[in-house]
Amino acid sequence: MASFPMPHLPPCTSLPHTNTAAHILLPSSLLRRRRNLHSLRCSASDKPQDDAVELPLFPLPLVLFPGAILPLQIFEFRYRIMMHTLLHTDLRFGVVYHDAVSGTSEVGCVGEVVKHERLVDDRFFLVCKGQERFRVNDVVRSKPYLVGRVTWLEDRPSESDGGDDAEALAHEVEGYMKDVIRLSNRLGGKGEKEMGDLRRNLFPTPFSFFVGSTFEGAPREQQALLELEDTAKRLKREKETLKNTLNYLSAASAVKDAFPSS
- Note whether 91 and 175 are same-domain residues: no
What CATH number corresponds to the domain at position 147? 2.30.130.40
Q: Determine the pLDDT at residue 28.
A: 58
Tally Cβ neighbours within 10 Å of residue 84: 12
- Note whether 142 and 171 are same-domain residues: no
Please give the tally of structural domains in the chain.
2
- Note whether 143 and 223 are same-domain residues: no
Could you say which of 127, 153, 179 is where a domain stops?
Answer: 153
User: Shortest CA distance to 225 belongs to which of 24, 50, 29, 82?
Assistant: 24
Give the span between the Cα atoms of 246 and 179, in whole angstroms.
Answer: 7
Question: Can you give the pLDDT of all 262 residues of the chain as single tens digits?
Answer: 233 443 444 455 555 443 434 677 676 555 544 433 333 344 444 445 668 999 999 999 999 999 999 999 999 999 999 999 998 888 999 999 999 888 999 999 999 999 999 988 889 999 999 999 999 999 999 999 999 999 999 998 876 655 669 999 999 999 999 999 999 888 888 876 777 889 989 999 999 999 999 998 899 999 999 999 999 999 999 999 999 999 999 998 888 777 776 4
CA 13 from centre of chain: 16
Burial 193-227 (b: 16+ CB within 10 A, else e): eeeeebbeebebbbbbbbbbbbbeebbbbbbbbbb
Q: Determine the pLDDT at residue 120.
A: 83
Question: What pLDDT, in 10s, does the model give residues 71-108?
Answer: 999 999 999 999 999 988 889 999 999 998 889 999 99
Surface-to-core class of residue 232, CB atoms within 10 Å of its CB (0-12 exposed, 13-18 middle, 19+ buried): buried
Give the span between the Cα atoms of 258 and 109, in whole angstroms.
Answer: 45
